[in-house]
Amino acid sequence: MPELPEVETYRRFLHELVVAQTITALEVHDAHVLAVDEDTLRQAVVGRTVRDTGRLGKNCFLLLDDGRVLVLHFGMTGDVGAYRDPADRPRFTRVTLYLDSGLRVAFIDPRKFGRIRLADSIETYQQAKKLGPDALDISPEQLQQKLQRRKVAVKPLLLDQSITAGLGNWIVDEVLFQAGIHPERLAHTLQADEYQALHGAIQHVLGTAIRHEATYRHFPADFLIHARQWDDSATPGTDAHRFCPRHANTEIVKSYVGGRATYVCPVCQPAPTLA
């Protein structure tokens, strides 16, 4: 699933191609991915120049010269591509934007859970979707302020897009591992230094993922992600990938927190003591 690091990588790719370009045509190959009427979308974008790109959480924006915004959400399997010759159109392209450079931008989505929308501005879209500040932009003070009174496990709060936008399941596990915080710690029990560590880990994990263009096998060896990609049918204790990257003899524990698969090192992330 395209998470914040993938979407930021797509945005950077698009930015190079579309900024200062005029959209000369719109071709819809499969209207499934449109959350707006096709003719309305065509009238809104054709003839417009793309002034800039943006991103909020897992949403990518093309900012048009009349102030409106084309919103791309990539669902489960969304991707972007570019081509010139119609014969080179990527497989599963659902929508194509024609640019005056002669390049064509493809919105690719095999499973068609992605969506293309129109918004009057990023702010109106953010309000309508109840999205908090982007996870890369939220300040340590904002993060602590939003969490410190909540008597709720910290993991589901970090997944809540209205608190901060863009943190998905594996990213939250990685952030909590890097910060040394157990996912079931209640947010109101976290100390100031733990909030600092949490904020630092969000920056570190997202920054690392974007730097590696979301190619997970290139992530540093001390990342939990190398331990979570095991085959669930493997025999416990036999697969080296099941062990903590920092404690070679400690097995990573899989559980469910808030209904989501969760991976924890019991040494790096001490379980909360029951009051």
Residue 104 catalytic? Answer: no
Nearer to Zn ion, 121 or 229 (CB): 229
Q: Which of 58, 185, 228, 242 is catalytic?
A: 58
Residue 150 appears among annotated catalytic residues:
no
C-beta of 250: minimal distance to Zn ion in Å? 5
Per annotation, catalytic residue among 2, 133, 156, 245: 2
In sequence order, the 6+-apart residues with CB closer than 8 A to the CB of 254 are 228, 261, 262, 263
Residue with Cβ nearer Zn ion (201 or 244): 244
Give the binding site for Zn ion (CB under 5 A): 244, 246-247, 265, 267-268
Residue 141 annotated among the catalytic residues of the structure: no
Task: Name the DSSP letter for residue 242.
Answer: G
CA distance 9 to 18: 14
Around Cβ 155, how many Cβ atoms within 10 Å?
A: 25
CA angle (186 as vertex; 171, 253 as ends), nearest 5: 50
The conformation of residue 189, written as its DSSP 8-state character, comes to G
Least separation in angstroms between CB 264 and Zn ion: 9
136 versus 172: smaller Cβ distance to Zn ion: 172
CB 6 within 8 A of CB 74: yes
| Residue among 106 and 244 whose Cβ is closer to Zn ion | 244
Whether 264 and 272 have beta carbons less than 8 Å apart is answered as: no
Least Cβ distance, residue 64 to Zn ion (angstroms): 48
Q: Beta partners for 119?
A: 69
Nearer to Zn ion, 112 or 246 (CB): 246
Place of tokens 């790096």: 268
Whole-number minimum distance, CB 221 to Zn ion, in Å? 13
The nearest distance, CB 265 to Zn ion, in angstroms, is: 3
Selected catalytic residue, list 51, 260, 266, 272: 260
Residue 53 in tokens: 């790109």
Contact 131, 98 (CB under 8 A): no
Specify whether 156 is catalytic. Answer: no
Catalytic residues: 2-3, 58, 260
